[in-house]
Amino acid sequence: MLNIESAHFASWDDPIEMLYACHSKVKMFCKQLAILPDYLAKNGVNQAVKNDVRQIITYFNLSAPLHHDDEEKDFFPALVKHVPQAQADIDKLENEHIVLHQNWALLSAQLTQLLNDERNHVDRDLIAAFIAGYDHHISLEEPLFELGKAHLSKEELQAMGKIMFNRRKV
């Protein structure tokens, strides 16, 4: 299960690009998850699968919740100050974050069992629901990123980028 897709490079100087970069990673990992059941049926659980699954688990356990915090604590509040009509979409997206985390909890349990040699497959429907949730979510969220690019000042974005960076410091 190799992935040969160029990474989207961004820096905290442009936090909206960082949010897009996170979405690029989500899409990449969702592509890997989509092919996982067929790969497992053909090749079984091998070290390549375990390496990829470990990366997926790490991303969705650590980075995805931080990304959602970036949006809910920083980006959405800043955006709604400039574009109050975005609040309805923001409310939907924040509720979707809860569902995305619930779907991840179910899927990650199976992926962890796969890593621990406690199962040799992952439920296709669970993967499909997880991917569909993110596909829908991203399609609603990225237009808000564009609104942010249009309405947030350079100073607001720089301050936001610093907060997001500091959120990741250990």
- Which pLDDT score is estimated for 9? 67
pLDDT class of 11 with cuts at 50, 70, 90: confident
Maximum CA extent, the chain: 52
- 15-167: CATH topology: Four Helix Bundle (Hemerythrin (Met), subunit A) (1.20.120)
- DSSP secondary structure, 112-156, as one string: HHHHTTS-S---HHHHHHHHHHHHHHHHHHHHHHHHHHHHS-HHH
Q: DSSP for 15-73?
A: HHHHHHHHHHHHHHHHHHHHHHHHHHHHH-S-HHHHHHHHHHHHIIIIIHHHHHHIIII
**Domains of the chain by residue range:** 15-167
pLDDT grade, residue 4 (50/70/90)? very low
Query: Rounded mean pLDDT of 113-125?
Result: 98
Helix segments in 72-123, DSSP class H: 76-82, 87-115
